[in-house]
A = this chain, B = another copy of it.
Amino acid sequence: MATEAAPDDEADAADAPAAYDALLDRVRRWNTVGSAAGVLGWDQQVMMPEGGTPARSKQLSTLSSIRHDMVTDEETGELLDELDDADLTDERAAVVREVRREYERADAVPVELVEEISETGTEALQAWEEAKAEDDFETFAPHLEKHVELKREYAEHIDPDRDPYEVLFEEFEPCLSMERAEAILTELRETLVPMIDAIRESDADLAVDTFEGSFPEEEQEALARETLELVGYDFDRGRLDVSSHPFTAGNQFDCRVTTRFDESDPLGAIGSTIHEFGHAQYNLGLPQEHFGTPLGESRDLSVHESQSRLWENHVGRSRAFWELFLPTFQEHFPETDDATVEDAYQAFNQVHEDNLIRVEADELTYHLHIVVRFEIERDLVRGDLAVEDVPEVWNDKYEEYLGIRPDTDAEGCLQDIHWSHGNFGYFPTYSLGSVMAAQLFEAAESEIDDLDDKIAAGEFDDLREWLGENVHRHGSRYETNELVERATGEEFSADAFTDYVEEKYGELYGI
């Protein structure tokens, strides 16, 4: 269960070496500073009046610098050295492994370089906004160039002997091998390109106009709140608010979600609300007694995304869910009373094969949007692609993988914010998370009797408990692949995902 502590393999905590306890005190302190900064970040996006920006920037940079100083303090290194040959329980060894990784990375990179990257990000963000608005890649190109250089330098500080893209990928995914990640992304491409081609050729006639109309925000907000209640969000440890980009922020005591509303698209808010619920549920399921230590922190981005995607796609986009949910939806929007569960299911699962925009993509084409970005940023960082060639390569890849070609860079390689922050290696985690969601859901289905019927009946306890038991309560104790293997009995792979999409979309589109 989500609220149960991870099994403790040490009989007596007093057995820990003094250096371990001292290290843990330090780690708790710096992670608590980090979680305080998280509250400030949430406030900034949800509550802060516009004028507050200068003070908030100083508060956040000060907390970040304090945290960095604590991590890289020489005492951290000395305590880790002392623990080098210590005989530790598995749990404690996992803590030391996680702390050592963070310390070594933080210690390897000069503060000046981190600051330069941060400053470059501020300028690049402005340039990107302008470039996107004006559809002018040239404006952004020198900033992207600089980010590539600085991030290569960054990677070199960490390990001059390894592929720099791999090193950067580990910033977001420290314990999943690049090799496995790349194999999964390649399999996605090989599976999805022909599928989407077939869908384009298919003459299936989906009920895509079921939810056309205007759906007032106020009513959508009430519905979002009910959706969260339905899936079991604990409002005593969370909140729902509105922000321009939906996100989740918090810890095992207080984890909040946001959503946003588009009056012409009521499904958008439902999908995003369930998505953020999955993220929040993960954090809320971390063991409370390990707050501030690696055992009380979530595993990395792909695992986090697996939790949001599992709820969004495998629950929220299922027929069973719409059996449960459609009457609630229709209470709020009686003008849709004629829609059947099958209509809703089809509308929520249509493939937008002509869509150019990642954030508007469906469950299927989404991954090709990611593969394009992954291949381009990997080649940029490896020095196999010049910045000036990005727009053309981007467009060629869209044509090759998705059968569509952007008319403008604004709808092409300038659409996402990530590269303006210099975040190379981030995009793949989105797809890896979806793939992992499919594998976890397949395992949950095989272990929970009649899961589909339970979803249709609004009984989510078993699923929440399964995820709590198999994922949440472990915190960062296991590395990614071990976590997946323990939960599913299989190595992390794209198999479950390809089975899932082939079955689901095969049936929907008759392919």
Question: Which of the residues B49, B52, B62 comes within 8 Å of A36, measured between beta carbons?
Answer: B62
Is A236 interfacial (CB-CB < 8 Å)?
A: yes
Looking at the assembled complex, report how far the CB atom of A57 sits from the nearest CB atom of chain B, in whole angstroms: 10
**Residue contact B66 to A254, C-beta cutoff 8 Å:** no
**Residue contact A36 to B63, C-beta cutoff 8 Å:** yes
Looking at the assembled complex, report how far the CB atom of A64 sits from the nearest CB atom of chain B, in whole angstroms: 11
Is A88 interfacial (CB-CB < 8 Å)?
A: no
How far is it, in angstroms, between the C-alpha of A29 and the C-alpha of B256 when the chains are bound? 29
Interface flags, A220-241, vs B, CB<8A=1, else 0: 0000000000000011111100
Chain B residues with Cβ under 8 A from A133's Cβ? none
Asked whether A48 and B292 contact (CB < 8 A) given A33-B66, A36-B59, the answer is no
How far is it, in angstroms, between the C-alpha of A256 and the C-alpha of B252 when the chains are bound? 28
A residues 47-70 in Cβ contact with B at 8 Å: 47-56, 58-59, 62-63, 66
How far is it, in angstroms, between the C-alpha of A52 and the C-alpha of B239 when the chains are bound? 11
Looking at the assembled complex, report how far the CB atom of A252 sits from the nearest CB atom of chain B, in whole angstroms: 8
A residues 245-259 in Cβ contact with B at 8 Å: 250-254, 256
Report the interface size for chain A: residues with CB under 8 A from the other chain: 40
How far is it, in angstroms, between the C-alpha of A486 and the C-alpha of B52 when the chains are bound? 31
How far is it, in angstroms, between the C-alpha of A52 and the C-alpha of B40 when the chains are bound? 15
Question: Which of the residues B29, B56, B239 comes within 8 Å of A254, measured between beta carbons?
Answer: B56
Looking at the assembled complex, report how far the CB atom of A115 sits from the nearest CB atom of chain B, in whole angstroms: 15
Is A488 interfacial (CB-CB < 8 Å)?
A: no
**Residue contact B239 to A32, C-beta cutoff 8 Å:** no
Looking at the assembled complex, report how far the CB atom of A27 sits from the nearest CB atom of chain B, in whole angstroms: 12
**Residue contact A49 to B251, C-beta cutoff 8 Å:** no
**Residue contact B55 to A251, C-beta cutoff 8 Å:** yes
**Residue contact B292 to A254, C-beta cutoff 8 Å:** no
Closest B residue, CB atoms, query A238: B49
Question: Which of the residues B37, B54, B62, B253 comes within 8 Å of A53, measured between beta carbons?
Answer: B253
Asked whether A32 and B62 contact (CB < 8 A) given A47-B47, A237-B52, the answer is yes
Is A509 interfacial (CB-CB < 8 Å)?
A: no
Interface flags, A279-300, vs B, CB<8A=1, else 0: 0000000001001100000000
Chain B residues with Cβ under 8 A from A253's Cβ? 51-56
**Residue contact B32 to A292, C-beta cutoff 8 Å:** no
Chain B residues with Cβ under 8 A from A33's Cβ? 62-63, 66
Looking at the assembled complex, report how far the CB atom of A101 sits from the nearest CB atom of chain B, in whole angstroms: 23
**Residue contact B291 to A49, C-beta cutoff 8 Å:** no
**Residue contact B59 to A237, C-beta cutoff 8 Å:** no
Looking at the assembled complex, report how far the CB atom of A253 sits from the nearest CB atom of chain B, in whole angstroms: 4
Interface flags, A3-29, vs B, CB<8A=1, else 0: 000000000000000000000000011
**Residue contact A236 to B50, C-beta cutoff 8 Å:** yes
Asked whether A54 and B291 contact (CB < 8 A) given A32-B62, A59-B39, A254-B48, the answer is yes
Closest B residue, CB atoms, query A36: B59
Is A134 interfacial (CB-CB < 8 Å)?
A: no
**Residue contact B29 to A62, C-beta cutoff 8 Å:** yes
Q: Name A's B-contacting residues (CB within 8 A).
A: 28-29, 32-33, 35-37, 39-40, 43, 47-56, 58-59, 62-63, 66, 234-239, 250-254, 256, 288, 291-292
14 contacts between A and B (CB under 8 A): A28-B58, A33-B63, A36-B37, A36-B59, A47-B47, A47-B239, A49-B239, A50-B237, A51-B234, A51-B236, A52-B237, A54-B288, A54-B291, A56-B254
Assuming A28-B58, A55-B251, what are 17 further A-B pairs, CB within 8 angstroms? A32-B58, A32-B62, A36-B63, A39-B39, A39-B40, A39-B43, A47-B239, A50-B237, A51-B237, A52-B250, A52-B253, A52-B254, A54-B253, A54-B288, A54-B291, A55-B252, A56-B253
- 4 closest A-B pairs by CB: A52-B254, A51-B237, A55-B253, A36-B59
